[in-house]
């Protein structure tokens, strides 16, 4: 199976979700599976998360938390031949030609919307 992992937040936010992504990738490497993992990283990120057989880095132009993120990311991943896409940062691309898994780390944006900026409320309300 060819599995894509949206790892762009490792560059933009190395703590929190970024750290979750790094730990997830390291744990997946220990499984010694025949699956192929495509790590979707920011083009600005010069660091490779892991150098193991079965892991491939793909640089993406689409930045995280951008108002055009969903359609732009849809276009970028459409040619990768993924069987599954994991979106660990709440928001998946609009259109996917594969199955997807979304990790929701917390629901604070639903419980406390008055703490959000207008931009954040729009982003998490997608």
pLDDT higher than threshold 70 for residue 124: no
The widest CA-to-CA distance across the chain, in whole angstroms, is 46
- Which domains, and CATH codes, for the chain? 2-124 (3.40.50.2000)
pLDDT higher than threshold 80 for residue 9: yes
Q: How far is CA 35 from CA 2, 8, 52, 107, in A?
A: 6, 21, 12, 31
What does the DSSP assignment read for 54-105? TEEEEEE-PPTT-TTHHHHHHHHHTTS--SEEEESSS---S--SSEEEE---
In this prediction, residue 115 carries a pLDDT of: 82
Task: Encode pLDDT of 47-56 as tens digits.
Answer: 999 999 999 9
CA dist., res. 41 & res. 93, Å (int): 15
Task: Encode pLDDT of 74-113 as tens digits.
Answer: 999 999 999 999 999 877 787 778 999 988 877 777 778 7
Task: Encode pLDDT of 78-89 as tens digits.
Answer: 999 999 999 998
In this prediction, residue 126 carries a pLDDT of: 60
Q: What is the DSSP letter of 122?
A: H
CA dist., res. 110 & res. 112, Å (int): 6
């Amino acid at each position: 199976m060819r599995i894509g992992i949206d790892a762009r937040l490792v560059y933009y936010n190395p703590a929190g979700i970024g750290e979750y992504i790094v730990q997830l990738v390291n744990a997946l490497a220990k499984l010694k599976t025949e699956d192929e993992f495509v790590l979707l990283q920011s083009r600005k990120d010069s660091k490779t998360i892991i150098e193991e057989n079965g892991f491939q880095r793909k640089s993406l132009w689409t930045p995280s938390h951008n108002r055009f993120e969903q359609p732009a990311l849809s276009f970028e991943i459409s040619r990768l031949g993924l069987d599954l896409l994991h979106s660990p940062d709440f928001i998946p691309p609009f259109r996917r030609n594969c199955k997807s898994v979304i990790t929701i780390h917390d629901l604070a944006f639903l419980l406390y919307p008055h703490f959000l900026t207008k931009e954040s409320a729009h982003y998490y309300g997608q």
